[in-house]
Amino acid sequence: MVNHLTSNYFTSQRQAFEKNLPLIDDIHSQDAIHDIRVSLKKIRTLFMLFEFIAPEKFNSKIYFRSLRRLFRQVSVIRDLQVQQNLIKEMADISDGDCAGFIDFLADLETRERKKLEQWLTGFVLPDMNAYQAAVDTFSEEMDEGLFNEKLTAFINEKLMIIKSKSTGIPDDETLHDIRRLLKEARFMIDLKCAGNTDKLQVPELHKAIKAAEEILGKWHDMTIGAIFMRDYIADHSTQDQSPPEYCNNFLSYHLEEKERLEKVSIAAINGIISDFK
């Protein structure tokens, strides 16, 4: 049962990764980078679970090393894609033509894509068949009862770490960490649900985590948007030009939304961890 559960989980993420990898440098396939990042996050979390269960047998950092480098290479491009889409949707708050800022973001994406293209020429894809074999071998040797116990403990540990990080008013770095930890907990709840017939309580936790993630996702977008807008304003200053009038409106909106979403996210997080002691 353990082998079937984890093998299917890894296989589905591997297939998503391998399907989208050939599209990674296609500017018209925006979803490819997003889907690659999600599949890699899920593979990394599965490897982390294995290390949590038996650290003497499985080192997640070693297994994920090559894939982590790819994950980092596409991160900025994904942020730039999201921001370009957002600014087009939020034109009503700009009080003017946002074309200059959109062009600025598009130019940054072009530069990052060139860097990615150069990096990919030296990238060697790890042997995914060997990864599959490692997953299957580890799972075959794992007692089902122990696996389920450790899987629950892994999820609970993530929530306990979140609780320890949620004291006071978390800074940006802490909220980014909490967002990652919530995803890791949710991914493994998905795995647990796939092999668990008693699903009465787990979906409620999953739903609460997903809701908090969505708030933190919007918070992240506002945080990154403010950074890029500040860069755009600074770029005009170096060229002895005044930035367009809408820039300050746009920046103010992002900072206000960032602060609002921070408070909402903290409330959502506290609702999740309140029962953990």
pLDDT above 50: residue 199: no
pLDDT above 80: residue 240: no
Residues 84-139: tens digit of each pLDDT:
988 887 766 555 578 889 999 999 999 999 999 999 999 888 899 999 999 999 98
Closest CA to 184 of 221, 156, 217, 223: 156
Can you tell me the distance from the alpha carbon of 229 to that of 250, in angstroms, rounded to the nearest whole number?
A: 8
Can you tell me the distance from the alpha carbon of 179 to that of 223, in angstroms, rounded to the nearest whole number?
A: 13
Residues 143-170: tens digit of each pLDDT:
888 998 999 999 999 999 999 998 878 8
Averaged pLDDT of the chain: 89
The pTM for the full model equals 0.90
Percentage of the chain beyond pLDDT 90 is: 62
